[in-house]
């Protein structure tokens, strides 16, 4: 067993003990499609998501997004943490996805040590309500597009292992922060 994997498992055990609200593979809520949310309900869930993601990041040093179903809620929202900033996505809708795709070995906070090589659109346009209750429509590419699609899938009851071939599922062995987008598998 390599050092990275052993260290990952130790940190995962701490997360299990200290962040009990996280749902994991096998929990039926991860397969549920979320419902449209009022801003008031969604903002409460987003604040809780931010708190849980911050706690996970403090323990593990990783984690860039968390969706409502990952803490047992069916409100239609998720949060991201990129460039030292939390952003809220309430009632998101992907309006456009590029035909150009890329590959990335994704891990998921609900999948433990499992990583999957997943193909996604290179760019998207998404509409959402932000944390200040502003309706927005923005385009994202690269890593941002991938992260948003991953979290958005959670809101539709899709986990990354549903978007890959069984041969492309493995146990984490390298630092996920060093993973790069690729044009080919």
How many helices (H) and strands (E) the chain has is answered by: 3, 8
**Tokens matching residue 162:** 């549903």
Is 151 among the catalytic positions?
yes
Q: How far is CA 26 from CA 48, 119, 120, 157, 161, in A?
A: 22, 23, 24, 12, 12
**Which among 17, 151, 179, 183 is annotated as catalytic?**
151
What DSSP letter does each residue of 62-79 carry, written as one string?
---EEEGGGGT--BSEEE
Pairing between strand 123-129 and 135-141?
A: antiparallel
Task: Provide the annotated active-site residues.
Answer: 151
């Amino acid at each position: 067993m390599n050092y990275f994997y052993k260290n990952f498992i130790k940190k995962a055990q701490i997360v299990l003990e200290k962040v009990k609200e996280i749902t994991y593979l096998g929990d039926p809520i991860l397969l549920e499609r979320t419902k449209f949310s009022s801003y008031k309900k969604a903002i409460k869930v987003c604040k809780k998501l931010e708190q849980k993601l911050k706690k996970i990041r403090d323990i593990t040093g990783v984690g860039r997004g968390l969706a409502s179903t990952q803490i047992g809620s069916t409100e239609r929202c998720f949060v991201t943490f990129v460039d030292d900033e939390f952003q809220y996505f309430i009632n998101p809708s992907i309006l456009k996805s590029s035909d150009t795709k890329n590959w990335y070995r994704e891990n998921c906070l609900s999948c433990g040590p499992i990583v999957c090589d997943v193909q996604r659109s290179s760019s998207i346009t998404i509409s959402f309500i932000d944390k200040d209750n502003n309706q927005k429509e923005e385009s994202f590419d690269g890593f941002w597009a991938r992260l948003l699609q991953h979290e958005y899938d959670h809101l539709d009851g899709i986990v990354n292992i549903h978007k890959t071939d069984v041969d492309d599922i493995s146990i984490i062995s390298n630092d996920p922060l060093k993973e790069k987008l690729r044009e080919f598998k």
